[in-house]
Amino acid sequence: MRTLFLSHPRYRDHLAPENHPEQPERIVAIERQLEGEAFQHLIRDTARPVTDTEIQRIHPAAYVDHIRIQAPHDGLMMSISSDTILSNGTYEAARLASGAACLAVDEVMTGLVDNAFSAARPPGHHASARQAMGFCFFNHAAIAARHAQAAHGAERVAIVDFDVHHGNGTQNIFYSDRTVFYASIHQAQLFPGTGETSETGIDGNILNLPLGAGANGAAVLEAMTGAVLPAVEAFRPDLLVLSAGFDAHFRDPLGDLNLVEADYGTLTRALMDVADQVCGGRVVSLLEGGYDIDALGLSAAAHVSALMGH
């Protein structure tokens, strides 16, 4: 498989307080794991900033300007919510993360690569059109979906989110949009408190599968193969976007699910199989959570290895 890996040095310029879980070392850990011989055929490129046209398909210009203007200078940090921290490098990092999502879509939709993984921060799936929260400022998965539709003629896009937290921002953005399907497997009653099975969108375009604390990889795989994959197959998207959070790992400090790194390879291969059936194998994967540094690196490596066909 021709797998594209996207990152950027400026992701490390988005800073957070020392005890904050969303740290620059997250990207370092992933890049270190992908230096091994098994990843020598990975196609590597650098993210580009999102354009105003691309980002404003999801986020109004006034909101984007607000994030830019709020960003402090001279190494200072400020909270725009209880857990969402702006530093001098945040705005540029977030624009690069969204731009990477669009670049990944471009490469996959034009057939230059088979699939892509963007290791970017800050993450995105908690950001709604006009609100930053949960470490997130711009919703990269939503921007990617709209870019596929606007720039590449995709009629339908499916987003599958396997972060331990529910992607409330992505759900909110597409709740009444029949052209985008959003499915989430997440821990029940965890931040942000959304993602009940009763939240089904318009014509069932939203599918939530909350799992109880302690659920393991077998339970997640059962939810994936029993519900999510058949729904994706029925929706028949032109592109599959993954909100790839690795915080369901048993070592992660922010969740209580019990996946191991090998589970992410299994889940990825299952998702690739359905993508092969419905959309020519076109998969764009975007990093969301994962806050135990070692577990994140190993889990992301298992994910990328599966994308490469290993």
CA angle, corner 118, sides to 241 and 253, nearest 5?
90
Cβ(119)–Cβ(10) under 8 Å? no
State the first-to-last Cα distance of the chain, in angstroms, to the nearest integer.
Answer: 9
Residue 18: CB partners within 8 Å, gap ≥ 6? none
3-state secondary structure of 116: strand
Tokens of 54: 């691309």
| 198, two tokens | 């009763």
Q: DSSP states of 154-170 as a string? A: -S-EEEEE-SSS--HHH
Which helix (H) or strand (E) segment is 209 a member of? strand 206-211
State how far the Cα of 267 lies from the Cα of 169, in Å rounded to an integer: 23
Is position 126 annotated as part of the catalytic site?
yes
305 vs 190: CA distance, rounded Å: 29
Among candidate residues 14, 125, 126, 249, the one labeled active-site is: 126
Residues classed as catalytic: 126
